[in-house]
Structure 1
Amino acid sequence: MIYRLILFLILNFTALALGGIFTGKGVLSDWYIGLAKAPWTPPGWVFGAAWTSIMICFSIYMAYLWPGAENKSFILALYIVQWILNVAWSPTFFYYQQIFAGLMVITALTLLIGFFLFFYWPELKIKSGLIVPYFLWLLVATSLNGFIFFKN
């Protein structure tokens, strides 16, 4: 269990680091500062705290899911797609300034995490609660991206 957890922690925090490369500069850009943002947009520090907690919980979730999975290749494929979508959102939104494409990426990521949550709930039961913060945060993030798309 500990080795799986360490592996998923490394993979998930690598994704955060890669996304952070684009987010850091983008949040301070004139383009982003000038956008109309949702009134429920949290302060910047919340994003770092939320993502750190979420990735720890998601790593634990994946470490529990992996050993009991019947179709490991399917879970691996889902995880890889999740990883790519997670990394892709920041450059899509902040670097390329593609608000609609960012909305599509984050919507796909939200649906994928929702799939993890509901499809594997019977297998993991209460441990599925570990992925709930990720799903809820993505719902908020998707709403923020959607607001920016519709108001700008």
Structure 2
Amino acid sequence: MKILKYLIFFLVINFGALTIGGWLMNNGPLTAWYQNLNQAPWTPPSWVFGVAWTTIMICFSIYMAYLAKTVLDKKLVVLFTIQFILNVVWNYFFFNLHLTILGLVCLIILTFVIGKFLLDYKSVLKIKSLLILPYFIWLIVAISLNAYIVLKN
């Protein structure tokens, strides 16, 4: 399959995850509950989240397109599925159920999964592995923001 077909597939799936997560968030960042939390002083403005996630999912989709074209096996499908689920359910745990500790655990596991992608497939994708770094770095930021909320509320 040509790379463009893989890229379109992963763009649809990854932006679908963002859409589902947005639905599950149910205007969470605008709720009184979230607005009244003690938030980290380094919490970025709300518009940064949209820009960050758009950039991350474009880079991750390109990464996954090249990876799937090269190595499409059960391990890759399982890792991607776990990543998808964790990415989506964090929104529900954190914003709808207000389970901030479970949200933090979800982010930590997701970071390990993305780290596993990076480590396990760097010899396959070489320099293209850099495409997953925005996701990994953003998750570290997200962990710090979520952990601050857990510790200070």
Give the TM-score range, shorter chain: over 0.9
Q: What are the equivalent positions in structure 2 for 1:3-152 lying under 5 Å apart?
A: 3-23=5-25, 25-69=27-71, 72-152=73-153
The structural deviation recorded for 1:89 is 0.4
What secondary structure does 1:120 align onto?
A: helix
2:26, 2:95 within 8 Å by CA — same for their partners in 1? no
**TM-score of the superposed pair, with normalisation by structure 1:** 0.96
Q: How many residues align?
A: 151
2-side partners of 1:23 and 1:117: how far apart? 28
What secondary structure does 1:147 align onto?
A: helix
2-side partners of 1:128 and 1:25: how far apart? 34
2-side partners of 1:61 and 1:24: how far apart? 29
Return the letter of the residue paired with 2:78. A
1-side partners of 2:53 and 2:15: how far apart? 9
Q: Percent identity?
A: 52
What value does the CA root-mean-square deviation take over the aligned residues?
Answer: 0.9
The structural deviation recorded for 1:150 is 0.7
The structural deviation recorded for 1:119 is 1.4
2:94, 2:100 within 8 Å by CA — same for their partners in 1? yes
**TM-score of the superposed pair, with normalisation by structure 2:** 0.96
2-side partners of 1:8 and 1:41: how far apart? 29
Q: Which contiguous aligned blocks of 4+ residues in structure 1 show a shift greater than 3 angstroms?
A: none
Kindly provide the CA deviation profile for residues 120-149 of structure 1, in whole angstroms up to 9, marking residues without a partner as x. Answer: 111111000000000000000011001100
Unaligned segments of structure 2, at least 5 residues: none
What secondary structure does 2:27 align onto?
A: helix
What secondary structure does 1:40 align onto?
A: coil
Return the letter of the residue paired with 1:79. F
1-side partners of 2:111 and 2:90: how far apart? 12
The structural deviation recorded for 1:67 is 2.0
The structural deviation recorded for 1:3 is 0.6
Unaligned segments of structure 1, at least 5 residues: none
